Amino acid sequence: MARVYNFSAGPSMLPESVLRKAQAELLDYHGSGQSVMEMSHRSKWFDDIIKNTEASMRRVLNVPDNYKIGFFQGGATQQFAMVPLNFMTTGTADYLVTGNFSKKAAEEAAKFGTARIAASSKDKNFTYIPDVKAIDYDPNASYIHICQNNTIFGTTFAEVPQVEGIPLVADMSSMIFSEPTDVTKYGCIYFGVQKNVAPAGMAVAIIREDLLGHSAKGIAPETIPTMMNYTTLLKADSMYNTPPCWCIYMTGLVMDYLEHEVGGLEEMKKINEAKAKVLYDYLDSQDFFKNPVEKPYRSRMNVTFTSPTPELDKAFCAQAAEEGLLNLKGHRLVGGMRASIYNAMPPQGVQKLVEFMEKFRKENA
């Protein structure tokens, strides 16, 4: 059986060595006589799994001791509500709208207080990131929210907002672990795992301790639904109820892979930069395919491009699929194509894509 190159925005590819490890351990995890899919979340085996997963995540991302890490169900979308419910203590927060997910996050936050749109890049269809130093932030904002890599539009922040006394909250779903991150710049980092980490079914939040124990203005802490209360869930070490055990296990295997096979996030970054360069260099070398993003904000994870017509876009995706290059159709809001080249996409996959693009160009230009 030949494995395909899957350019899906998520769920997306996992490292083959991780899948093989999971396969090898599937029926009998470490002599337990059970699969991780079957075992009690209160068993000693699972207790080791969740503790080791958290510990290796701390090492890989260099998470300081004054940050808690939580494993939650509900995806990144549920975090859009949990963030304001738990952190909007002044009744207002600043949102930078740089794409569809940050827009959704702001809309969700508006249910619990004022979600002030401090900046937006809608004027140019989200093809750039506003200058974070030139934004007029509200001094009364409980936090500043960004979506650091815009999965749909293929943009990424070159630098992040830093305002004394106002914590930065970042949705990093489609770029987490793609490069080193200075966690101390953030009050909270959250991400759905199905883009760059693990199978679908879990979000992770990394939260600075002093932000815990509060709630949105006008909402008593005890009336936050239990499963949306960071403080309660983290006090129970993400085991208030049954956690997403399999996702936690797979996340642990991916952390091992990053730490021991890749050699850490500096190495991962080099690989990702090289992959993105191959694709963008090709895009810049010809006029048939176009990438709409302003260069300083080009995403290294999600690369968008169009051919001259929607009909050719369609033909491109269909013919690419026949070559084992899957899920290249762009999001309906952007059209055209999108190649998601997360950590697990091998460099050969990008090389093969560029070769196919050139062949298609020659045949259709």
Ligand X SMILES: *Cc1c(COP(=O)(O)O)cnc(C)c1O
Residues that bind ligand X (CB under 6 A): 10, 75-77, 101, 147, 151, 171, 173-174, 192, 195
Nearer to ligand X, 192 or 349 (CB): 192
Q: How far is the CB of 145 from ligand X (least distance, A)?
A: 11
> Which residue number has the CB closest to ligand X?
75
Q: How far is the CB of 125 from ligand X (least distance, A)?
A: 17
Nearer to ligand X, 146 or 253 (CB): 146
- What letter does residue 224 receive in the DSSP assignment? S
Nearer to ligand X, 178 or 307 (CB): 178
Q: How far is the CB of 1 from ligand X (least distance, A)?
A: 28
288 phi/psi in degrees, rounded to 5: -75, -50
Q: How far is the CB of 289 from ligand X (least distance, A)?
A: 23
- Contact present, 294 and 89 (Cβ < 8 Å): no
Nearer to ligand X, 7 or 360 (CB): 7
Nearer to ligand X, 99 or 349 (CB): 99
**Which helix (DSSP H) or strand (DSSP E) does residue 117 occupy?**
strand 114-120
- Contact present, 50 and 71 (Cβ < 8 Å): yes
Nearer to ligand X, 47 or 179 (CB): 179
134-161 exposure pattern, b = at least 16 Cβ within 10 A, e = fewer: eeebbeebbbbbbbbbbbbbbbbbeebb
Helix count and strand count (H, E) for the chain: 9, 13
3-state secondary structure of 83: helix
Residue of 136, 86, 89, 87 lying closest to 116 (CA atoms) = 136
Hunting for tokens 């033909």 — which residue is that?
A: 315
Bridge partners for 205 per DSSP: 70, 190
Q: How many CA atoms lie within 13 A of 5 on its CB side?
A: 24
3-state secondary structure of 116: strand
- Contact present, 337 and 328 (Cβ < 8 Å): yes
Sign of CA dihedral 238, 246, 174, 66: positive
Nearer to ligand X, 15 or 192 (CB): 192
Q: How far is the CB of 171 from ligand X (least distance, A)?
A: 5
Residue of 265, 109, 130 lying closest to 197 (CA atoms) = 265
- Contact present, 156 and 99 (Cβ < 8 Å): no
Nearer to ligand X, 161 or 316 (CB): 161
Nearer to ligand X, 195 or 329 (CB): 195
State the Cα–Cα distance between residues 265 and 260, nearest whole angstrom: 11
Q: How far is the CB of 356 from ligand X (least distance, A)?
A: 25
Nearer to ligand X, 101 or 360 (CB): 101
Q: How far is the CB of 76 from ligand X (least distance, A)?
A: 3
Q: Give the burial class of 248: count Cβ atoms within 10 A of its Cβ; 0-12 exposed, 13-18 middle, 19 or more buried.
A: buried
Q: How far is the CB of 185 from ligand X (least distance, A)?
A: 18
Q: How far is the CB of 261 from ligand X (least distance, A)?
A: 25
Q: How far is the CB of 191 from ligand X (least distance, A)?
A: 8
